[in-house]
Structure 1
């Protein structure tokens, strides 16, 4: 059982001093630094799109790019926790929609915004708790569980909202995440700041707390973690619950972006969150990855979408590019996992 989130400078120096091939050296470095390869992809893609589409690097374009990835970024933080345990959550996008609908409808019906927010967050946590209980207590595969709850949450959302979009007063508390502040010539919404704060808090917890170490250990080898005294069932359940909280934060951010809640708004967010996590270097097999890599992965997805759009490329090719990125990311992950210690 190993936790491979970072590699010390001395170990890298020892590796470089060995007689290994350049490919093996790169393989070891990437194995110890999961966020490095997506960071390289992000930098290269921004340079390329900056050349192809001159407006791409304009402050206004970059500001819009970051705002557009805030919802996916928050969802992807929660998805990272699930994938680190070797699971996957196919219901995360529609759970966000359900949470946002509860927030918006209660607020529109006269419930104070802060109370509506707390109730919406509670609903999001309950969706994660339901998924976690089905996985840990009934021992159902995460893929099957979340595929089923995807349909359940979708149906509840449509019934609850009666298929109608809910609009809020422009001054509503729930829309504060859509308001922006100026940092120089760049406008940043509070939703983006909230998403970045979520990344920092969860990333800190994963790197420095016993809970984070247990999460990595459970995803790397659940049986070995259990033999080492870790309550793997409790760790798995906590991952789904915390992911549910991340869903609630994403729901608040999406309310600010769309000015309310739309029952049909979350169909693509499930796959986008998984895409961001995979491209960000988190292994689908669990036990390896970092939240900062997920943030970079979400940026990569948005950079490609925005860059291709500004370059005048057919939108269908944007979807094609995302699919290619996912396949390449999984291929690189497979190659990295074969590293020789």
Structure 2
């Protein structure tokens, strides 16, 4: 019987050293990030400033967390178009309960997380029980969540938040750069996701499910249950992103999240995760989120209008997916 190459420890000194190096799949996104930073630094003197890096990190922490949930879904060969709206509805529930209903802010946060998680569970249930395509299901829940968010908030921004909801927006200094506690939480979440996907049986099952769902089922793995867990966890992650969004902006914004589905998918595919499932690296997603943040920030410094930023983001997605498709054909 052949050893499990995914879990077998490296036996040679060279193997042990290579195990601690970044995965090869992350080298492309890392190079792209370096090139993007070099380009925008040449276009604006402000790009390399500590205050600008602080701004990039604050922008990235929200889409970066959303992209964690999106990565889990895409690794199973699915897609989640509802992510931005699940983030938004969670943020509105927690802020409205804390401000208008004067609920204990920690309980309000819990309620917001539960609502986002419940929508994630609904996505998973419709996909696994009713056998609907992920694209259709999440497109439907995107619109449902958006409508409920507008009705519940009466399309009004919620301000004057209690301190507990703004905690992750607070900063500490690293050199000349102010880093938010939300950024630290994002990095911790990436480390947890990296460990689970790399070193646990459920993580390997996620990859197996994306590679070949039928073969995975024949191995005795409950694929429907695994998909349900993935979409439910993704909903929880989007709720956490909603909390970080509230902490960063200081308000509950019912119009939030409308571009985060595109931004999160862009981060995932730029990070090297295949839209066809079964192949990818969560650390690559973090690099992809940084690339998205750097592009948005750099284009803003160059005076490029937001509509053209969305255009460029769409082009980046197409280029990344085309590259993935070509590599699959060669493979």
Match of 1:211? 202
Match of 2:50? 59
The alignment status of 1:269 with 2:260, answered yes or no, reads yes
Does the 8 A contact of 1:93 with 1:270 survive in 2?
yes
The alignment status of 1:159 with 2:151, answered yes or no, reads yes
CA-CA distance at 1:332 after TM superposition: 1.4
Counterparts in 2 of 1:130 and 1:315: CA distance versus 1, 3 Å: closer
CA-CA distance at 1:112 after TM superposition: 1.0
Match of 2:17? none
Match of 1:129? 121
CA-CA distance at 1:324 after TM superposition: 2.1
Supply the distance in 1 between the matched residues of 2:306 and 2:109 (Cα, whole angstroms): 35
Match of 1:231? 222
Supply the distance in 2 between the matched residues of 1:335 and 1:8 (Cα, whole angstroms): 31
Runs of 4+ deviating beyond 3 Å = 3-10, 312-317
Supply the distance in 2 between the matched residues of 1:160 and 1:177 (Cα, whole angstroms): 25
Supply the distance in 1 between the matched residues of 2:241 and 2:181 (Cα, whole angstroms): 12
Counting only pairs closer than 5 Å after superposition, residues 70-109 of structure 1 correspond to structure 2 as 70-108=61-99, 109=101
Match of 1:69? 60
Counting only pairs closer than 5 Å after superposition, residues 113-152 of structure 1 correspond to structure 2 as 113-152=105-144
Does the 8 A contact of 1:5 with 1:290 survive in 2?
no
Counterparts in 2 of 1:323 and 1:9: CA distance versus 1, 3 Å: farther
Unaligned runs of 5+ in 1: 14-29
The alignment status of 1:279 with 2:270, answered yes or no, reads yes
SS of aligned partner of 2:318: helix
**Per-residue displacement from partner, 1:266-304 (whole Å, max 9, x unpaired)?**
111111111111111110000011111111111111111
Supply the distance in 2 between the matched residues of 1:241 and 1:193 (Cα, whole angstroms): 23
CA-CA distance at 1:5 after TM superposition: 8.4
Alpha-carbon RMSD across the aligned residues, in angstroms, is 2.2
Match of 1:254? 245
CA-CA distance at 1:225 after TM superposition: 0.7
Q: Which segment is superposed worse, 315-324 or 250-259? A: 315-324
The alignment status of 1:299 with 2:290, answered yes or no, reads yes
The alignment status of 1:46 with 2:41, answered yes or no, reads no
- Between the two proteins, the alignment pairs up a number of residues equal to 318
CA-CA distance at 1:124 after TM superposition: 1.2
Taking structure 2 as the reference length, the TM-score comes to 0.91
Counterparts in 2 of 1:9 and 1:36: CA distance versus 1, 3 Å: farther
Counterparts in 2 of 1:316 and 1:95: CA distance versus 1, 3 Å: closer
Does the 8 A contact of 1:65 with 1:302 survive in 2?
yes
Supply the distance in 2 between the matched residues of 1:172 and 1:55 (Cα, whole angstroms): 31
CA-CA distance at 1:34 after TM superposition: 2.7
Taking structure 1 as the reference length, the TM-score comes to 0.88
Given candidates 179, 183, 190, the residue that maps to 2:181 is 190
Counterparts in 2 of 1:8 and 1:312: CA distance versus 1, 3 Å: farther
**Per-residue displacement from partner, 1:92-111 (whole Å, max 9, x unpaired)?**
11111111111001111211
Supply the distance in 2 between the matched residues of 1:313 and 1:149 (Cα, whole angstroms): 32
Counting only pairs closer than 5 Å after superposition, residues 235-246 of structure 1 correspond to structure 2 as 235-246=226-237
SS of aligned partner of 2:178: strand
**Per-residue displacement from partner, 1:227-254 (whole Å, max 9, x unpaired)?**
1111111111111011011011101101
Counterparts in 2 of 1:296 and 1:8: CA distance versus 1, 3 Å: farther
